[in-house]
Amino acid sequence: MDLMWIGLGLVGAAFFIGEGLKNFKNPNGKSLMDSLDSSDSDNFVKEDQIHHHIGVSKEDAKALIQEYPDIPHIRLNGNIYYPRKKVMKWMTELGDH
């Protein structure tokens, strides 16, 4: 059992050293934590995935979309996409009313 913990520790150390070396000569590059950050919130989200991004169930997201057709979205090639940042702002403003 002790060898397993040593092995996991070595794998973890190798991972973090590798992450540090990725951007060794590129100080403006993204780190692992930067890529996990929600700063990529300008992305568009497909209609069937919006519930993940706003933190509600799939059924609640469908009900919200039906009840409020003015939710920010675009239609492209028959698909509906939601700009995540605008949707979050819209929901905040909706909650203020």
**What span, in angstroms and rounded, lies between the C-alpha atoms of 81 and 46?**
5
Res 43: pLDDT = 85
SS3 82: strand
Q: Which residue has the higher pLDDT, 24 or 65?
A: 65
Number of H-type helices and E-type strands within the chain: 5, 3
Question: pLDDT tens, 46-86?
Answer: 998 888 888 888 999 999 999 999 999 999 999 999 998 89
Residue 32: is its pLDDT beyond 80? no
Residue with tokens 């203020």: 96
Residue 43 exposure: Cα atoms within 13 Å on the Cβ side:
11
